[in-house]
Amino acid sequence: MLRRDDVYDHISSRYELLISKEDYEGNIARAIAGIVRMQGKDFVDLGAGTGRLTRLYAPIAASATAVDRAADMLKVAASKLAAAGLYNWRTIVSDYRRVPLDDRCADVVTAGWTLCYVAASDVPGREEHLETAIGEIDRLLRDGGTSIILETLGTGEEEPRRPEHLREYYDALEHKYGYRHLAIRTDYAFDSAEQAESLCRDFFGDELGDRIREQGLRIVPENTGIWWRTKSEKG
């Protein structure tokens, strides 16, 4: 899990550099393709940041809406989408628990690496925050629509590992809200060990930064969890 999301409001370019190195083998796209067909779908990306998932699917979606509370992040997303010659997208600066969009406006809603910031065990009111977020996802989805949540299972880890402060959140997704789950590798491929150390130290902390420096790592292992559910499957 990255450090607190409020530090990203004014470092969007460095954050964009970090995520541009992530999942160099393209496992996220392959995994999501096995869950839902994105072609021709109306797609909402909650906690979109600089548009990692928005940019991945806007070229094939009917429409793409990127939602994030950080305007600086969305400016990067908008610039990238415009540079790609796409016109079927929009950005909305908003808390993803109260999105100014109509009911049943989306076929697919994604929330990548974002619900963790309101649902972690050290967040007061985490259960209520998660319930509100899942309720908002369901409100946005059409009947039969698919929600997809991505979260960390360990950066710098060779095997999937649920961070202790996110265990209750992940368990709630599976046992309270009925999400299915799989784990994939999303390793980073940096230009150099020096770049790997600098970026990972900034975003993941000194322990990982020190290990990268000591081992001279350019490829940094990472595991990501994907949780998904169709609206009609809600128990």
What are the boundaries of each domain within the chain?
5-185
**DSSP H or E run through 209:** helix 206-215
What is the model's pLDDT at position 3? 46
20: Cβ contacts below 8 Å, ≥ 6 apart: none
Would you state the pLDDT for residue 4? 46
Question: Which residue do the tokens 């949780």 mark?
Answer: 227
Res 87 pLDDT > 60: yes
CA distance 25 to 35: 18
pLDDT band at 17 (very low <50, low <70, confident <90, very high): very high
Asked if pLDDT for residue 10 goes beyond 70, the answer is no
pLDDT surpasses 60 at 5:
no
Question: Could you tell me if 183 and 160 are in contact, meaning their C-beta atoms sit under 8 angstroms apart?
Answer: yes
Of the candidates 20, 52, 75, the one whose C-alpha atom is nearest the C-alpha of residue 148 is: 52
**Mean of pLDDT over the chain:** 94
36 half-sphere exposure, CB direction, 13 A CA radius: 25
β-pairing, 63-68 vs 89-93, is parallel
The architecture in CATH of the region 5-185 reads: 3-Layer(aba) Sandwich (3.40)
* Residues 73 and 44 sit within 8 Å (Cβ to Cβ): no
Average pLDDT over residues 51-67: 98
Q: What percent of the chain has pLDDT over 90?
A: 91
Average pLDDT value for residue range 173-187: 99
Amino acid found at 189: A
